[in-house]
Amino acid sequence: MLAARLPYAAQRCSFSTAAHVQRQVPILSSPDIDTFRDQAFVPALPFLLPRHTFRDLPAIRNWFLHQPTNTSNGPLSPALNLSYLARFGSTIVPLEITNNDHFVRTSQALSFFLACVNASSSSYEQAISPPKRINRYFSARRPGSRPIRRSVVTKRATGDFFSSSSAISTPTARVYLAQATLSDLPQALRDDLSPTPSYVLEAGKGDVYDTSIWLGEAPTYTPLHRDPNPNLFVQLAGRKSVRLVRPDVGMGIFAKVQERIGGNASATMRGEEMMAGPEKLALEEEVWGDDSEFKASMWEAEVGVGDGLFIPKGWWHSIKGTGEGMTGSVNWWFR
């Protein structure tokens, strides 16, 4: 039994509220490398690092600010430090853009992403100033339309993806800076995520397969998938909930979803098919739904600022950004 192998499993993630998930990812009893290697890395089990292990990463204080929420006396909501990040505005970054059930990946300058974030955090009234000049990032048709600028790249790639029809009355399109490779970023931003955690450099062979950053306004969502390398996932801003299943269970979920939707996707090479349409809906129901037959096999963790989660090679996982404001994460895949 798992509990017999993990006497420290009584240290649970205290933030989860999903009572139907039986296992909460345990917290390592110590932050030292030997404990990480013996309890998590070698047996290939998910673990949270002791809370706030990574709180001193410069990116946490340089990239983000905190502002009041719409709820009086509520907690502060994380926001991007636009003045700091704007210095790197010409950097090209990968973006995932969703509009209802439509999805597209594209590349844009970081300044475009920052402009969308800045506009979406403003009210429609603030976007109009004398003499009634409308902010170009907002729809001129209806208050509440999601702020998106038509660029040559996105218009060519998506056609009428950003339609500003007068029928739109609620926010629709969302922009997520997803899986931006750290080595493609300016040196100053890479320095903000230094040093590389010792867990990555010392637990295994010491080589990093890849490092990515993720920035987006909550709620964000990454469907169920698996990675070909061990993964250290660190939260920089906001909160995220992560659900994980063992490799064999994940394959069972994937097979059921493919049978249910009549699909033939590859479990190894995951693409845009999981980001929209029937596969995304089916995956979400099987992982996050109360009626899923796999709920007893789910593990769950919630990560906050400075928290780290180890995801073993081959473990399937799905991630949701929760709460209000900006969420930010970085992860290292290593051998």
Measured distance CA(92)–CA(108) in Å, rounded? 5
Token couple for 1: 């039994």
The torsion angles phi and psi of 119, rounded to 5 degrees, stand at: -70, -40
- pLDDT, residue 69, reads 60
Domain spans, the chain: 2-57+209-334, 59-176
The torsion angles phi and psi of 180, rounded to 5 degrees, stand at: -80, 120
How do the pLDDT tens digits run along the chain, 335 residues long? Answer: 333 333 333 333 333 444 456 699 999 999 999 999 999 999 999 999 999 999 999 999 999 998 766 555 566 789 999 999 999 999 999 999 988 778 899 999 999 999 998 887 654 333 333 333 333 333 322 333 344 444 444 444 444 444 444 443 444 678 999 999 999 999 999 999 999 999 999 998 888 989 999 999 999 999 999 999 999 999 999 999 999 999 999 999 999 999 998 988 777 766 676 777 888 999 999 999 998 999 999 999 999 999 999 999 999 999 999 999 999 999 999 98
CATH homologous superfamily of 2-57+209-334 equals Cupin (2.60.120.650)
**Is the distance from CB of 235 to CB of 320 less than 8 angstroms?**
no
Q: What is the CA radius of gyration of the chain?
A: 20
Measured distance CA(145)–CA(168) in Å, rounded? 6
Residue 235: which of 12, 51, 34, 23 has the closest Cα? 51
Measured distance CA(267)–CA(279) in Å, rounded? 12
Handedness of CA 157, 85, 118, 211 (dihedral sign): positive
